[in-house]
Structures are given as structure tokens and as C-alpha cells.
Amino acid sequence: MATLGMNAAEREAVEAFRRDVVEPSMTSLIILDFWAEWCGPCKQLGPILEKVAAAYADKGVKLVKVDVDKDKFIAAQFRVQSIPTVYAMFQGQPVADLTSARTEAQVSAALDQLLAQLPIQGDAQNLEAEIEPLIAMGEQVLGEGDAERAASIFQQIVDMAPDNAEALAGLARALTAAGRVEEARALLAEVPEKLANDPAIARAQSALALAEIAPAADTAALEARVTADPDDHRARYDLAGALMAQGNRDAAADQLLDSIARDREWNEGAARARFLQILEATGIEDPWTSAQRRRLSAILFG
């Protein structure tokens, strides 16, 4: 806002707006709430905005309230014709009109969408940037078979960010791979409710379930049974579980796919269910999972 031609009060209002809104909006998302003491709907919406802003403070969200009676000049610059009027501001510019969002869920959803699109620099985003390479390191170490070291890495991340779903899931999977099944089960049982449906947590639950229903076993006898009778689906099923417990997912997948190809309906589709469970435990975005899904599709629809 140019100050040329303004009186002293207007220049003061512009300076205050620059200090309280424009400058913070360079790195934060500002919720700008135009309201008035006499406005009933404003009084209803105000506490909702305050609650949501407090919940999103660590993500770089701040609430600034503008009383249209006291700050007529600022309200006029935004052409506010009715209240409440609510804008989201970033880098000195309105980026969204939030006026239609009147419930906590609606305001939160709007903020989530904006935060996913804008380079906001809040404490949460800074922490996420810090732990992202650590999570990648943990996944790499786990993938290389050093489950104990991976568990140590993920534990450090969980200490830094107790509510990070990827870190919690990584720790659970590392504990499972290390044979510390009870610890993994206890960890997943205490996952916050808000994270319970996260895909990373679901992957860890699948890995734990696999470890519990398919403990490591000597594969020699099972392999002998399959060799003697290729249609011994129970032997193939148990062999796949034992191979998976040993970390040999390729061989486990081969056994299950062979069983599906021979009799996809055996034991009410048990081989297919186990196969999909292995894919979920591996991770939907893993290239290996994509390749195995193609193999399954070729059998089912080829």
C-alpha cells in the first residue's frame, strides 16, 4: 500500500498492517479476520479461527484480527462489504478467501490444502525437512538387512518427532525385522488415534502380522514337500511364510504366485491374500511391489 497522500492516521494503520501482516506473511500463512464487536456471526467464527490457528501455529499459521470499526482504512483497501470476511495471506498477497469456511473442519481442510501448496516455514515444516533424510537413511539401512541399526535410527527420529507416522512405522518394521515382535506390537498399540489410518502405519501392521503368523522356520522340509508334490498348496503357503520371515521376499512371492496359478481358489484364496499382505508390508510405492502386482495380474487376467 502506497502512503502518498495519506493522513497521519492512515499512514500509521498501513505501517501497523505491514508490521503485523505483510512482514510475517513472507514466511508464514496469515489468517486475516475482518470483524466487529457488534457482529454476531463474527463472534461465532472468531473462537473457531483462534482454535484452529493455535493448532496450526507450529505449521506457520498466524491469526490477525482486523476490527473494521477501528481500522476502516485497511478494511476499505480490501473492499470489505460484509463481515465476517476472512482471507489467507502469503507473501503480502491474499491467496484464498476463507469466508465460506465456518466450521473447524472446513477451516482446517482449507489450511491443509494451502499448506500443501505453499512454501510456509513453520517449526513443523523445518522439523520435517530435518528428519526427512534421517528417515531415508533408516529405510536404506533396513533395506540392507541391518534391522537393529535401523531401529536405532528410527528411535532417534521418534524421539525428535513422536507423532511422525513414517518414523513410528519405520521403527515398528525395524523391530519386527529384528525379531523384537513384542516391542513392535506395543509400539503400534500406542500409536495416536489420528495416525491410526496412515498408510505407513498400515504397512507396519502388515509386517507385524506377517511375522506373527509366519515365524522363521527351516525351509528344507517344506521345499522337499513342494518338490515331491507341486500341488501341495499348504506346503507352498507355509514355505512362503518361512521365506518371508527370512527376508527372502522374492522366493516367497514366487511360491505364492505359483500356488495362485495352479489353484487360485485354494483355501478360499489364502495364497492370494498372503501375497497381497506381503505387498502391503513392502509398501505400495515400492518398485518391487509394482512389479509383483503386474505378475499377479498376468496370472489372474492373462
Under DSSP, is residue 95 helix (H, G, I), strand (E, B) or coil? strand
The rounded distance, in Å, linking the Cα atoms of 55 and 107 is 11
Residue 297 grid cell: 495380474
Q: How many CB atoms lie within 10 A of CB 291?
A: 10
Interstrand relation of 29-35 and 61-67 (parallel, antiparallel or unpaired) = parallel
| H-assigned helices in the chain | 8-17, 40-55, 72-77, 104-117, 123-143, 147-160, 165-177, 181-189, 199-213, 220-228, 233-245, 249-262, 270-282, 287-301
Cα 277 to chain centroid distance, Å, stands at: 21
The single residue of 14, 30, 42, 107 carrying the catalytic annotation is: 42
39 is catalytic: yes
The single residue of 29, 30, 32, 39 carrying the catalytic annotation is: 39
Residue 70 DSSP class: T
42 is catalytic: yes
Under DSSP, is residue 120 helix (H, G, I), strand (E, B) or coil? coil
Q: Which residues are catalytic?
A: 39, 42
